[in-house]
Amino acid sequence: MTIETFYDTKLFAIVEKGTFNDPRLRLTYYRYDDTYEPEKCKPVAEFASTDNQWTYEFPIKKGNNHSMIIWFRYKHEAEIEFNYFDLRDDPKNTKMRTIRIANTGGAKYGINNFSLSLASVWETTPGNFLLVANSNKEANAKNADGVINNNYIVDSVKGEMRETNFWFKDTN
């Protein structure tokens, strides 16, 4: 069980990662201010996964500073897929959403069977997600700085994936 805090909305979410006999993801959101008066502290939103929406193999991450919780499997080959729960659109009628997009990360390098292992996902602007990952890119995929860039933006509105214009240089 963990707690994620959301500065923009002054909410926090309790993230329950199932039990041995109940493998479901549960998210319960509360307002910060309501915790000062426990009798008023009631959930503002709740989510409980159903079959096949979450497994213990999926890491769970805070996805933005509003209210988003994201979960995904690590390895992605032909398609990138991740799920999220967010209160932004309609806090009273919430549901899980899934993003699926073709994995085109190796195309400009001529890499067939491109494989991407996600480390984290963050919503940079509504509908645009930063993927921080590792891949099977080799020496032929280095940029001008000699770095293999494994950071991508997924634009869920346009339905495209593109390499970022920044990267983390390994100083080892």
Q: What is the pLDDT of residues 10-63, one digit of tens each?
A: 999 999 998 777 788 999 999 999 988 888 889 999 999 988 899 888 999 999
Percent of the chain with pLDDT over 70: 95
Percent of the chain with pLDDT over 90: 59
How far CA 146 is from CA of 36, 39, 86, 138, 162, in Å, comes to 53, 58, 38, 11, 19
Predicted confidence (pLDDT) at residue 172 exceeds the cutoff of 60: no
Residue carrying the six token digits 């997009």: 101
Q: How distant is the alpha carbon of residue 25 from its chain centre?
A: 15
Which of these ranges, 40-44, 84-88, 115-119, 164-168, has the smallest mean pLDDT? 164-168
Angstrom distance (rounded) from CA 68 to CA 87:
7
**pTM exceeds 0.75, yes or no:** yes
Mean per-residue pLDDT over the chain, rounded: 89
Predicted confidence (pLDDT) at residue 168 exceeds the cutoff of 70: no
Angstrom distance (rounded) from CA 4 to CA 63:
10
Which of these ranges, 44-53, 65-74, 118-127, 163-172, has the smallest mean pLDDT? 163-172
- What order do you get walking across the sheet with 116-125 strand by strand? 75-76, 116-125, 128-135, 151-155, 160-163
Query: What pLDDT digit, counting tens, does each position of 93-119 carry?
Result: 788 999 999 999 888 888 888 999 999
pLDDT at 154: 95
Strand 79-85 with 69-72, pairing: antiparallel
